[in-house]
């Protein structure tokens, strides 16, 4: 049985308008040593601010309010409190982290709740035992991005400037540079923050769709992810709809939108409607000094609030040296995996093979003092790097496209287009795996 902490040490608040759900979550938490309070509504929960809970479990859908508005209220008044959103549907909370949530759970979740409870207790206990550690000064934003580079700070300045306006914003940058998170940051800093933030995956919108997927935004913000993937007929429909709805539009693309317009693949009128303000997110290879604080922030998710995770000098050198064609998403996946395998110190052996074996010659960018520039012929087109990376991920997932799409952070249709564009044969990876397995069986 778990030892109970001192009275009030580990407080939890459960917010749900269903009494049975509140009671269930409270029971699980109390059995793990938490002091638990329950609230059936936003109004009641707001009156419990003085209890300063360490963790809040909140249903996404509440009568008269929603989990996101409660999340915003508590993050503003109790910034150190962790908020976990709870939902009946996995798709309803996919943007939870972008709004500042610590995690989300999909019902039923007994096992996940128990594991999360234990992990949070370990974090809080570890934080007590270890004094605060002074880190290299860096800018940490509220969108889980970290950096100290001039390029990163310039992006954040633009975010601050445009947030208070109603202007549409176009975010450009490679895959994995954090466009959706920046879009959410603009929304959360705006006067529309209490309204919905709707993410529309343009590559998955059906031509025959009768209901506009951005309709639920209702005066909030709609984020069009990879806007250039939208068909010409849907582009025309969007132009007409945007004249009749009251919402803010943030669009994102990894392509040169002006070039798409010139090629006739993107409507000129839609381009001008989306492009009053444009912010370009730099790839990691152009902001290498941000890699250490980013890696540290990702690693700390594994080893709690104690900042116990460290990187050996050799491992950190490789992390900074690697070019990260998948940018922040790839870095996060690699660091979380490495931290999970480590003993508290991430070493070279914990890093993915592609990072360990990177020679540095393939567009090894530049030392901070500007030395060691590669020769021009050493540079490789971005499309080639993307193709190689897609092939590596498919090899890792043994040709499983669904798993590969999750690793890459894209949907299946986008992955299919990438595979076609780079002439990657996903079935060959299954064939290689099957052949290797058959040979192994024969040899045994």
The boundaries of the domain holding residue 395 are 381-444
Interval 373-393 mean pLDDT: 60
Residue 409 lies inside a defined structural domain of this protein: yes
Q: At what angle do helices 382-396 and 427-443 cross, to 10 degrees?
A: 40
Q: What's the mean per-residue pLDDT of the chain?
A: 75
Please check whether residues 150 and 277 belong to one and the same domain.
Answer: yes
Q: Is the pLDDT of residue 147 over 80?
A: no
Percentage of the chain exceeding pLDDT 70: 72
Judged by average pLDDT, the poorest of 157-171, 320-334, 404-418 is: 404-418
Q: What is the CATH number of the domain that holds 326?
A: 1.10.8.60
Confidence of residue 426 (pLDDT cuts 50, 70, 90): low
Q: In the 8-state DSSP scheme, what is residue 277?
A: E
Please check whether residues 55 and 110 belong to one and the same domain.
Answer: yes
Peptide bond into 391 cis (omega under 30): no
**What tokens were used for 104?**
């989300």
Q: How far is CA 318 from the centre of its chain?
A: 23
Residue 138 lies inside a defined structural domain of this protein: no
Total domain count, the chain:
4
Q: Is the pLDDT of residue 4 over 50?
A: no
Whose tokens are 């491992």? That residue is 315
Higher pLDDT, 112 or 402: 402
Q: What is the CATH number of the domain that holds 241?
A: 3.40.50.300
pLDDT value, residue 309: 78
Instruction: Give the residue from 194, 129, 182 showing the smallest Cα distance to 158.
Output: 182
Interval 197-202 mean pLDDT: 85
Higher pLDDT, 393 or 288: 288
Residue 136 lies inside a defined structural domain of this protein: no
Interval 329-338 mean pLDDT: 85
Q: Is the pLDDT of residue 398 over 80?
A: no
Judged by average pLDDT, the poorest of 108-117, 154-163, 340-349 is: 108-117
Domain boundary at 355, 380, 405, which? 380
Please check whether residues 323 and 387 belong to one and the same domain.
Answer: no
Highest averaged pLDDT of the listed ranges 80-89, 92-101, 147-156, 289-298: 289-298
CA distance 164 to 190: 5
Highest averaged pLDDT of the listed ranges 32-46, 117-131, 207-221: 32-46
pLDDT value, residue 409: 74
Residue 405 lies inside a defined structural domain of this protein: yes
Please check whether residues 259 and 330 belong to one and the same domain.
Answer: no
Q: Is the pLDDT of residue 271 over 90?
A: yes
Residue 3 lies inside a defined structural domain of this protein: no
Q: Is the pLDDT of residue 217 over 90?
A: no
Pairing of strands 139-140, 146-147: antiparallel
Please check whether residues 255 and 362 belong to one and the same domain.
Answer: no
pLDDT value, residue 100: 67
Q: What is the CATH number of the domain that holds 20?
A: 3.40.50.2300
Residue 186 lies inside a defined structural domain of this protein: yes
Q: Is the pLDDT of residue 54 over 80?
A: yes
Q: What angle do CA 59, 62, 64 make, to 5 degrees?
A: 155
Interval 33-39 mean pLDDT: 89
Interval 155-184 mean pLDDT: 88
Please check whether residues 374 and 386 belong to one and the same domain.
Answer: no
Highest averaged pLDDT of the listed ranges 43-52, 105-114, 176-185: 176-185
**What tokens were used for 388?**
């190689």
Q: In the 8-state DSSP scheme, what is residue 18?
A: -
Domain boundary at 232, 258, 282, which? 282
Please check whether residues 177 and 108 belong to one and the same domain.
Answer: no
Higher pLDDT, 87 or 372: 87
Highest averaged pLDDT of the listed ranges 110-124, 129-143, 356-370, 388-402: 388-402
Could you read off the pLDDT of 341-351 as tens digits, one per residue?
777 889 999 89
Please check whether residues 154 and 278 belong to one and the same domain.
Answer: yes
Q: At what angle do helices 412-421 and 382-396 cross, to 10 degrees?
A: 120
Interval 96-104 mean pLDDT: 65
Please check whether residues 16 and 59 belong to one and the same domain.
Answer: yes
CA distance 250 to 165: 12
Please check whether residues 181 and 278 belong to one and the same domain.
Answer: yes
Residue 400 lies inside a defined structural domain of this protein: yes
pLDDT value, residue 143: 42
pLDDT value, residue 131: 30
Please check whether residues 114 and 15 belong to one and the same domain.
Answer: yes
CA distance 101 to 20: 23
Confidence of residue 316 (pLDDT cuts 50, 70, 90): very high
Alpha-carbon separation of residue 57 from 68, 119, 175, 265 (angstroms)? 12, 15, 32, 46
CA distance 67 to 197: 13
pLDDT value, residue 212: 67
Domain boundary at 218, 250, 282, which? 282
Bridge partners (DSSP) of residue 198 are 222
pLDDT value, residue 120: 73
pLDDT value, residue 65: 67
Please check whether residues 262 and 305 belong to one and the same domain.
Answer: no
Q: What is the CATH number of the domain that holds 420?
A: 1.10.10
Instruction: Give the residue from 239, 321, 325, 233 showing the smallest Cα distance to 274.
Output: 239
Q: Is the pLDDT of residue 251 over 90?
A: yes
Higher pLDDT, 249 or 374: 249
Residue 194 lies inside a defined structural domain of this protein: yes
Count of C-beta atoms within a 10 Å radius of residue 13: 28
Q: At what angle do helices 412-421 and 401-408 cross, to 10 degrees?
A: 100
């Amino acid at each position: 049985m778990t030892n109970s902490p001192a009275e009030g040490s580990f407080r939890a608040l459960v917010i749900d308008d269903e009494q049975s759900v509140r009671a269930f979550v409270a029971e699980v938490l109390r059995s793990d040593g938490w002091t638990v309070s329950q609230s059936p509504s936003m109004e009641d929960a707001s009156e419990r601010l003085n209890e300063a809970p360490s963790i809040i479990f909140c249903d996404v859908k509440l009568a008269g309010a929603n989990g996101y508005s409660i999340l915003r209220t508590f993050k503003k008044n109790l910034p150190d409190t962790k908020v976990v959103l709870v939902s009946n549907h996995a798709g309803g909370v996919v943007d939870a982290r972008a709004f500042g949530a610590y995690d989300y759970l999909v019902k039923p979740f007994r096992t996940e709740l128990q594991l999360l409870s234990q992990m949070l207790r370990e974090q809080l206990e570890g934080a007590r035992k270890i004094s605060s550690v002074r880190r290299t000064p860096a800018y940490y934003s509220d969108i889980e991005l970290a950096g100290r580079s001039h390029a990163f700070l310039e992006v954040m300045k633009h975010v601050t400037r445009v947030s208070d306006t109603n202007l549409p914003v176009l975010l450009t940058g490679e895959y994995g540079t954090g466009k959706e998170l920046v879009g959410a940051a603009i929304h959360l800093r705006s006067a529309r923050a209490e309204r919905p933030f709707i993410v529309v995956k343009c590559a998955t919108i059906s031509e025959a769709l009768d209901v506009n997927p951005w309709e639920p935004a209702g005066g909030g913000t709609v984020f069009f992810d990879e806007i250039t993937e939208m068909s010409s007929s849907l582009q025309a429909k969007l132009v007409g709809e945007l004249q009749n709805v009251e919402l803010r539009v943030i669009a994102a693309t990894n392509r040169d939108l002006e070039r798409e317009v010139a090629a006739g693949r993107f409507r000129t009128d839609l381009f001008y409607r989306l492009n009053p303000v444009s912010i370009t997110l730099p790839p990691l290879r152009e902001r290498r000094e941000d890699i250490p604080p980013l890696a540290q922030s990702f690693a700390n998710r594994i080893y709690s609030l104690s900042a116990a995770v460290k990187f050996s000098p050799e491992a950190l050198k490789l992390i900074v040296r690697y070019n990260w064609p998948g940018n922040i998403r790839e870095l996060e996946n690699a660091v979380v995996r490495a931290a999970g395998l480590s003993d508290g110190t991430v070493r070279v052996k914990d890093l993915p093979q592609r990072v360990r074996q990177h020679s540095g010659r393939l567009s090894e960018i530049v030392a901070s003092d500007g030395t060691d520039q590669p020769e021009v012929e050493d540079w490789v087109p971005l499309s080639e790097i993307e193709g190689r990376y897609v092939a590596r991920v498919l090899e890792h997932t043994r040709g499983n496209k669904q798993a590969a799409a999750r690793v890459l952070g894209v949907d299946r249709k986008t992955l299919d287009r990438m595979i076609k564009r780079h002439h990657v044969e996903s079935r060959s990876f299954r064939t290689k795996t099957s052949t290797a397995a058959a040979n192994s069986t024969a040899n045994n």
